[in-house]
Structure formats: structure tokens, C-alpha cells
Structure 1
Amino acid sequence: MKRRRIVAGFQATLFSLSLVSTYFLPNSTIVAAPPRTPDKTVNCEMLVVGGGLSGVATAYEGLLAGRTVCLTEITDWLGGQISSQGTSALDERPTQRDRQFYSRGYTELRNRIQRHYGKLNPGECWVSDSCFLPRDAHTILIQMLKDAEKKGKGKLEWFPNTVIKEVNINSSGKIIDGAIAIQHQAAKGAPPLNTFTLAQTIKDAYTYQNSSRLSKSIIRFVPKVGKKSTTSNSPQWYVVDASETGEIIALADVPYRLGIDGRSFLEPSASSASNDPYCTQGFTYTFAMEATREPQPQTMPPFYLQYSPYFSYELKRLANFGLVFTYRRIWNSIPGQPTQFNGVKFTAPTPGDISMQNWTWGNDYRPGTAKDNLVYTRQQLQAAGQLKPGGWMGGLRTETLRKGEENALAYYYWLVAGTTDSQLGKGVKEPQTRNRLLTGLNSPMGTVHGLSKYPYMREGRRIIGRPSWGQPQGFTIWEVDISRRNYNDEYYRKTLTADTYRQLKATLAGLEAASVITGQVSPDKALRRSRSTIYPDAVGIGHYAIDFHPCMVQSPPETPGNKERPGERRGAGQAYPFQIALRAMIPQKIDNLIVGGKSIATSHIASAAYRVHSFEWSSGAAAGTVVAFALKNHIAPYQIVDDLPKPEPQLQALKRLLEQNGNPTAFPDTSIFNQNWEDWR
């Protein structure tokens, strides 16, 4: 284990500098300087930014390890995908689900959902084994953290309605030694929180000054230094970026990617020869609708005609309202009659049933140009002044948030009153007026307007890991590391150069790789390994298909006749069970920043699988365990892996701890000699 950083200039022959030459390599920092004295200072051992599943899992493991955990969240609900973002339908793969092979906290979450309702699937949806009410997810998770706090003798400091405004990086440029946050509540005489949409409040939430809607408290987070503090150079606290878009990696100005990665032997299905940071996966404002006995009055939104050219059932095999309603039905009061449409079986909706909507050609909003991309690039952040001290405003385009909200409300009206279909033409869509949009603070989404409190984010900023063995330009998990595709079709032979194609096939050849590279074995005759890449520093697991919701070509996305970005779905398809490498969670530059959730070091295509519920939990469980381990052993996480591929005793100790705690780091029988992964579905 080395006590130095890996030199960034280290070279290797299998990785081209062109893959990262267009991504930013920062040299600046943000210095916390609030306009007034903070209202309070809070000491933490772990500052977890983002209360989604990854952030909750991080806090859960930290509390069980007896640590003081500060957990911030922009909304007032824990759970992210399953609560504030409304996608309360667990995305799971059959084999992993059948074997119940999950992190201990995720298994506990599933068990608590079942106990809460008396069954795991109170919605009787058909997309998942578990569909439930978002508001209940928050309640379940809060209790889980309280129980973990009591059991592990840790301490939870929970900060809802709180955003990080600034981070302070010390003079070495390697340590975040403080952070400034803004917590808001409804101003005196103003409507309660969750009355207005995120687009209407996000700038206010990131502004220090009080407003007519919000009153603010300024909080300074600093390391907790006890009597037994060490004189070691190891960090005394850690910041975990579990935010939905990678806010802290943007604020700390560490290298990251955004959008499409350029085509290479590692990302051969990329839709572009060069990277495109503006084309990220679509985001979705979910909503809940209830089936009623009688027709309901439906009011056309004033913006409906702007968005209506986009909406569609998408495919003929899906063109049935009952099928779409029950797809993510989150509450089923009285079981309906068994029915089916094009082979899909479901029970017909009955009055009182509640459906959550998350539909690609519906409330997905899919910008893909520099005019309307949601997550600002570094260049856009600089131009907007958001990388200046005090300038951070969340890093999102507010106008695109607003249009995503309008699009979702317009989609509801299309579902209940529309008669057009952008993909299938006339005569397919019929009005369905026996439904109503559920709104109000006591509604499933907990908002007056009825939309989720925060959009469901499929993709944000993704770090470039530190230079590493085999990846000297920065560690990344790529398409070829997880995809089941065999790459034998003519497209790859014609699109890739001969050398790139040989590198691709060598990468996939497993034990025959050297023979393919040296020309002893033809690329087309090499045996394709039937498993994902095995990482010596694996600290978590996940399994899901590479699932795309591609950006659109024209701006705005709702432009009549608009098309998905050509080639984006080429990378979609089945994936092998995969691992979370510790190197994917360690950013460059900052030694006490750990990354979880969707911002770990994955490529654009790989991230389409590394984004679902059980993965988020597993990455958070890893983050919480790594931080607790690092604090206990007075070691920085990068030091645990900086000597690979040589043996790393601390790494082995960490992996044993994870496994002993019920947090798997590998699927059963994981080995370079085991090629039998075809049965994992």
C-alpha cells in the first residue's frame, strides 16, 4: 500500500488519451464565505449529501458503525427514487430477486415494505414485485435510520430541505475541511413547503437571503474532532456525494464526465465518435392518478398543445390504457378482473386504484442540446458564475425543469382526454375520463401540484476515477465490462478500425486476451467471456439491464416529429451481474470525498444499468462502510487500492468487513474460471 498518489502522467498502450482529452481537468476550488455568520455549526464524521437510496444506505452503515452522520436532502423526504422522485416500483432482476442476494439494508427495506402493507406489492403492478406509495417509503426509511442509530450507538443529524452552497478546500487542495449549507422553511405567512414546484423554488433554495416564500438558516459543517483524535495525515471526516446529479463533485471541481462518451473499444456502441455532454438520459416528473367510478372534469392545461405532439403509447403491443395504468399501479384497493393485452397479464383497474406514471413517450423529458440540457457542464457552470465563491445554484437549468413539469402535467391530460399518438397515429388513443390527478400535501407525492418533489434522475455527472492499473487516464467502468452483447454483428467491424476491433475482442476474450492481441488467435474466433469484469477491489454489487431513455435530436424535445438520438439504443440490452469497484467511488484530487449512487465512475452506457434501486443501496452501503473503515484505521480510501494489482492487506480487511456485515461484494461463484453466467436473468 503506497502512501503517495498514483502519478497522473503514467502512460499505457491500451488506453488512448483521446478518450478523456475533451473532459475538464480542473485547477480551482470553491471557498466557503457566507454573507453572515452561520446560524449554527455542526460537527460530523460523515457528511452525506443527498437523501436518496444511496445516501440513506451510507447513513445506515455509518450509524451501525457508531459514527456521527450528518445527512442533507433538498426535499423533506428520504428515499430519492422511491419517495421524493415518486418511482416507487423497485427495479430488480429475476435471479437476484429470487435468491434475495442483496445488501442487508436493501433486504431490510423490502421486508419492512411487506410488513407495512401486509404484502410486498400493494399496488399489484406488473412491472415489479413491489409497487407502493412514495409517502410511505419516507416513513419506513426514517424508522430504519432511527433503529440503526440505536443499534450501532451512532448519531444521526438529519437536515431536510437543505442544500450545500459552498465547500472549503484546505491549502493542500486535497481535503474538504468545511461546507456551508442553507436550510429553508416556509416564510411566515407563506404557503407551506411543497406548494410550489421545484422550478419555482430551486433558485430561492440556493440563495442565502430570506424571501417572501422561504426563510433560511445557514449551517456550517465541520469535522468532529474528539479527545482521541490522531496526529495522522489521514482525513478526520468524509464527505459523501450521494446527490442526484453529482453536486459536490462539481463544487469540488474534480474531473468528471457528462453525457455520451466517444466511441472506443471500451464503449463500442457509443452513438457518437466523440463525447457529447449534452445528451444525457431523460428525466421524469412522476405523478399519481386515481381511477374513479364516475367521469371527472378534466381541464386542459394552457400549455397542452405545445407538448401534445410528443405523447404516445410508443408501441402497438403497449397501446392499452389498462396496461399502462397498471404498469406501475402503486395501490390496488379492490382486485379487478384478470385480463391481458398482447400477452401481458394484469388485473383491470378498479375505482380507488392509484397509478404512478413514468412513461418514456409521456412524462419523460429528454433534452439533448446545449440549448436545453438539464445538468450544466463545467463550461456552462463557469459561464453562469456557479463555480465562483457563493455562486453555486444547484447546477441545473431551471427553464428545463419548468418545461419538464409542464410536460408531465400535459401528459396526464393526454392520458385522460387525448386522442393523438405521435408514434402510432390516429385511432389508437381514446379518452379515459374516469380518472383524477392526485394533488395535495397528503397525496402520494406530498405536493399541492401533484408532481413528484424532485424529478427522477437517470444520469448526472460521473467522476473519472484516479489513474489506476490498466486505466492510467482514470478508472472507469465501461460498456464492455458488463454487456452480454457479443459484438459479432457487421456494424462493429465496419464502424471500428481493425486495431480497435481487435482490442475490443481481446478485452472480451478473458483468458485468451493475450493471444488475440498478439495475433495468435483471430478476433472472430476468440471465445467470448460470459461474465462481467471482476474487480479485485469490488465493494458492492448490482444487476439490471442496460436501459436507455435517449435524448431527443431537436430542441425543444416536444418539437413535432422529433426523433431520439440515432444510435443511442444500440448499447441497450442485457447485462451480466456486475460489481462496484472501490476505484469507481474515489475521485481525483480530493482525498476525503467519496462518491455513491449514479455519480460513480461509469461510462454513459454502463450508467444505464448502474442506476436502479438495489445498486444505489449497495453503493451507499459500500460508501458508509469504507468511510467508517478509513476513520477507524486512519487511512485514506485511495491508499487502500493504490498498490493494485499487488496484494492490498487493508483492501482484504475491508472486503471481509463488508461480507461479514451482509453486504456482498461479489455474486455467487464469481471467478475468472467460472463462465456460467447465462442463467442470471
Structure 2
Amino acid sequence: MAEIRSEILVVGGGLGGVAAALTAARLGRTVVLTEPTNWLGGQLTAQAVPPDEHPWIEGPACPPGYADLRRRVRDYYRRNYPLTTAAAQDPRLDPGLGVVSRMCHEPRVAAAVIEEMLAPWRASGALTVLTGHEPVAAHTEGDRIEAVTLADRRDGRRVTVHASYVADATELGDLLELAGVEHVIGAEGRDETGEPHAPATADPLDQQAVSWCFALEHRPGEDHVVDRPDSYDHWRTTTAPFWPGPQLSLTDVVPITLEERTWTLMGADREAGQHFDLWQFRRILAREQFAPGAFASDLTVVNWPQIDYWEAPLLGVGAEARQQALQASRDLSLSFLHWLQTEAPRPDGGTGYPGLRLRPDATGTADGLAKTPYIRESRRIKAEFTVLEQHVGVEARPQGAGSEIFPDTVGLGSYRIDLHPSTAGRTYIDIDSYPFQIPLGALIPVRMDNLLPANKNIGTTHITNGCYRLHPVEWAIGEAVGALVGFCLDRALPPRKVRSDQAQLADYQRLLSQTLGIRLAWPEAVRTRADER
């Protein structure tokens, strides 16, 4: 078995993992970064989810590395695509003009940009990247992880990485289970946390739906209908108690009010005041941004409520049950696509859009589905400090108070508390939150000394995970973790000592703010304002 030694091991190459690895390398540390797929970037790339961002993302509150990523994405399009003159000159170029973000773009472009960002550190030897590798064992001694063994998904070969610090940036918090790190899954109870929107008692199997996304273009007059999945009739007829009908439909509910609504698939005129259609929702390439004739169709990502898979959880079940749930999620997505192509109602009175065509090149796969499902909820560490709804939720805070001010802040984020329907038969929880800080205490496990979370696995609850799980927040968490490890190695201190010692904490926060340019506090006028998407 091969062995590698490094100062830092980051397991998981999503946005948090990339940010942690990049930040640590910039601080002069040697890093090994691993990723189970062949694309770094997690939800932005392998999961094919255009960025979910807040209104202030173009300003100084944006994590500096994430701002660099966004600038590079825009420059990639300017260098390589036949943009219109107006689009090329727009400092806030949005290739897809999608509704969900101020900059929707193709997953493969983000993957290329991330490779570009990491290139000098890989060339210098400071950063080693192992794609196609997933953790299979964690080797612990007392309250430390001494090494992690990873298996190459392509040939089964194993490599053990020894490191002074380990960051778990996996999508499901895999190392927490492998290393016996104290953690939580599912929903905490209101009797434990006091959160107004928590269930009365804990339910570990109450977990947010996952979604297996895919990319589509539309070629009218052509026939690209996919095979009818074996489970098609199940999804065509089954109705969850909290849903207005089967998921193979254009009818769902408004997440905030839970009122029933029916979508238009395409053709809505936003300039005429019409509500946007599903096609525009997560569109990643808009033909109007490019030279006439350059593209035959827009390109959109289907990450819509109709493909939310809520029938079974992924955590707290055996490996076989997890694989069955993942397969069912894939089947739901393909069933919905087949329904769109064959049965979806059209404005002209007909049914079906056979010209909808999968774009496997956009997702980097053979079948057109994303490389991995969109994971909204992970195992979460039992942390020195847990962020509750009472710290960030508008309803749970005193009127006009804004979010809690954390003395140990290490970064910023903002998003609504947005929980999708769950495997416990619960519908949306979509409520206002204030722009918030990321407290250092939420990054420190109650026991382990050298394991840090760098994804959606920090010390939040099921409820507050709903606003700490989005793209820029995940990056901010990774930046803080990469900087913390560099700081701890420089001073031979454990992370919990940095938090408990006011002088050390102040020095670490100066590293974040002055050296790395990370904002640690919102302007008061923003902190006290409910988030607007």
C-alpha cells in the first residue's frame, strides 16, 4: 500500500475542500486534497448546481477566494466564448441569466477554473490532488486521526495519507463516521434546542431531500426521448401527503407559503412582468449572451422540486439501503425527463417536448446526469458551539436585532433558512434569516484535536444547516479551516486553544482579516436586514 505524508489532508474536493487546501497552500503548508469524482468543485461542478448566492456577493463581504473564482469564471467566458459585445463588456457578466444567481454558468467551466486556481501549487509540489479517491478507513490514536486510507475508485488500489491535521470536506461527513467523531444526523428536537421550527423531538431519519440534477437543451422538431424507466409508473402515480400531486407534474408548492402553484416550462416573458419559467430558473447558458447562431439552444440545469427525492434517507441506514435510495433518486430524475418529453402539457394544447435533449458533455458523464447527487444535508459534528435558529432566524430573534454577533467570528454568509421536503414526510421550511457570521466554535469538535469540518458538516442544527449549506458559505468555511490549520501549525497550538485564548484568537482573526482579506463582520445596516435572494 502506498503511503504519503503531508501537513494537511483535506478529504473531499467540494468548494469547502478546495478553499481549505488553497488557503493552507498559500500559507506555506503542504496539502493533500482528495475527491471521489474527477471534478473538483462539489455542488458547483460534480453536482451541477449553479451557485446559490446572496445580494451582497459582488461586494467586499464575498470570501476573497470565492470572489477570485467568480472573476475567473467570467474571464474564462470572455477568453473562450463568442460573447456579444455588450455581454463581454459587462463587468457582471452572467452567462446563463438564470434566476437563482447573479452568475449562472456551466459546471465544466467552474471545474476548469478551479484547476487553474490550484495549478501553481500543484506544480510547486505544495499540493497533491488525488481525484477518484474516497476514504475507506481512518486510523486514530486517542483524540487524533493519525492517517486516512483512501481507495482509488477506478482500480481499488489504496493509499494511506499521514497528516498532522485532517479536514473532512466530504459531502456526507464520511470521516466523522469512519473516525468515530461525535456527530449528529437528521433533525434535533425542539425539546433539545428550543428552535421554533424544529420537530418536537429528535428524528435522525428526518433528512432533506437529495436531487440528481441534469443538463438539458431544447431542439424543437427533433426526437431525443429517453427510455421509460421501470419505476416510471410509481413516480407518475404516487403522491406524498404534503404534496399537491405526483412529482411528474408542473405543479408544486411555493416553499415560503406552501400555496399550490403550476409552472410554465418555458416561454415566460419576464420583461412583460410574467413570473419566470422553470427553464430560466437555473439556466447556465443563455443564447442571447452570445453571437447570433453560436448556439442552437439555451442550456439549463434541472434542479427543480419535481426531482427532490424524499422517500428514503442516506444517513443512519446501511450501505445497501443507501445505494437503493441513490438509485431511486436517479430513476426519479430520468422519469421526470421522460415525462417532460412525452406527457408535459404544452401551451398549444399538445403534450410532450421530445426535443428536450440531455447534455452529458455539460455534466461530464456518459448518461447526462450529474456525477453525484446534490446533497443538502450531511452528518454534523457535535461542536464546542452549535448555531441555532435563535442566533440567525428572523422569527426567533428579538425584533430588529439582526443576527447574533459571535466574538469568535471567522467569516460571513447569508441565505434564507431553506430546507427542502424531508424523508420524515415534512414539507418545506423556508423562513427569513439575517446575514450571519460563522463562529469558530462551530468548527471545533467536542473531542477530536486535529479533525476539522470543511463542508456542510459544521456545528449547525438541521434547521440552521438550511442557511449555512450554500456555495459561498461552504467556501468561507473552507478558507477559515485552511487558515486555522496553518495558524495552529505555526504556533504548535490545538484549534480549541485558539478559541479559548483571547490573544491567540485575536491573532488568528488578524490573519484572516489583514493577511487574507476575509471580512469578519457585516455592516450593521446589513446584519439587521432579512436576507433577500
Q: TM-score if structure 2 supplies the norm length? A: 0.86
Cα offset, 1:297, TM superposition: 4.2
2:504 counterpart residue number: 650
1:17 counterpart residue number: none
Residues 193-231 of structure 1 show CA distances to partners (whole Å, capped at 9, x for unaligned) of xxxxxxxxxxxxxxxxxxxxxx222101113xxxxxxxx
SS at match of 1:270: coil
> Are the counterparts in 1 of residues 435 and 522 from structure 2 also a CA contact under 8 Å?
no
Cα offset, 1:132, TM superposition: 1.1
Distance in 2 of aligned mates of 1:335 and 1:635? 51
Cα offset, 1:416, TM superposition: 2.1
Q: CA RMSD in A?
A: 2.5
Residues 330-376 of structure 1 show CA distances to partners (whole Å, capped at 9, x for unaligned) of 1123469xxxxxxxxxxxxx84211110011x111113xxxx3212x
2:281 counterpart residue number: 327
> Are the counterparts in 2 of residues 529 and 675 from structure 1 also a CA contact under 8 Å?
no
Distance in 1 of aligned mates of 2:20 and 2:53? 20
> Are the counterparts in 1 of residues 435 and 529 from structure 2 also a CA contact under 8 Å?
no
Q: Which residue of 541, 550, 562 corresponds with 2:412?
A: 541
> Are the counterparts in 1 of residues 121 and 127 from structure 2 also a CA contact under 8 Å?
no
Residues 262-306 of structure 1 show CA distances to partners (whole Å, capped at 9, x for unaligned) of 014844333521100111111111101111132314242232112
In the alignment, structure 2 segments of 5+ residues that lack a partner are 79-87, 238-245, 254-259, 267-276
Change (3 A) 1:427 1:532: farther
1:179 counterpart residue number: 148
> Are the counterparts in 2 of residues 66 and 149 from structure 1 also a CA contact under 8 Å?
no
Distance in 1 of aligned mates of 2:221 and 2:349? 23
2:426 counterpart residue number: 565
Distance in 2 of aligned mates of 1:483 and 1:83? 30
Q: Which residue of 479, 484, 494 corresponds with 2:389?
A: 479
1:416 counterpart residue number: 341
> Are the counterparts in 2 of residues 64 and 149 from structure 1 also a CA contact under 8 Å?
no
Cα offset, 1:582, TM superposition: 1.0
User: Alignment identity in percent?
Assistant: 31
Q: Which residue of 346, 353, 356 corresponds with 1:432?
A: 353
Change (3 A) 1:447 1:679: closer
Q: Which residue of 107, 114, 124 corresponds with 1:141?
A: 114
Task: Name the amino acid aligned to 1:130.
Answer: M
2:30 counterpart residue number: 68
Equivalent positions of 1:266-415 (< 5 A) are 266-298=193-225, 299-309=227-237, 310-311=246-247, 312-313=249-250, 314-315=252-253, 318-322=262-266, 323-334=277-288, 351-360=296-305, 362-367=306-311, 372-375=312-315, 377=316, 380=317, 397-415=322-340
Residue 132, structure 1, aligned to residue 76, structure 2: no
Q: Which residue of 147, 157, 161 corresponds with 2:128?
A: 157
Distance in 1 of aligned mates of 2:309 and 2:336? 11
Residues 97-134 of structure 1 show CA distances to partners (whole Å, capped at 9, x for unaligned) of 25342111000000001101126321121221111111
Task: Name the amino acid aligned to 1:659.
Answer: S
Residues 108-167 of structure 1 show CA distances to partners (whole Å, capped at 9, x for unaligned) of 0000011011263211212211111111211110110124567xx661110000011111
Distance in 1 of aligned mates of 2:287 and 2:211? 26
Residue 92, structure 1, aligned to residue 71, structure 2: no
> Are the counterparts in 2 of residues 579 and 665 from structure 1 also a CA contact under 8 Å?
no
SS at match of 1:599: coil
Distance in 1 of aligned mates of 2:475 and 2:453? 13
Cα offset, 1:429, TM superposition: 9.2
Q: Which residue of 636, 641, 649 corresponds with 2:499?
A: 641
2:96 counterpart residue number: 123
Change (3 A) 1:419 1:401: same
Cα offset, 1:669, TM superposition: 3.4
SS at match of 1:72: strand
SS at match of 2:176: helix
Distance in 1 of aligned mates of 2:72 and 2:500? 39
Task: Name the amino acid aligned to 2:355.
Answer: R
Residue 109, structure 1, aligned to residue 78, structure 2: no
Change (3 A) 1:429 1:55: farther
In the alignment, structure 1 segments of 5+ residues that lack a partner are 1-37, 186-214, 224-236, 337-349, 385-392, 467-474, 488-507, 510-527, 554-563
Q: Which has the higher strand share?
A: 2
Distance in 1 of aligned mates of 2:198 and 2:77? 44
Cα offset, 1:396, TM superposition: 7.2
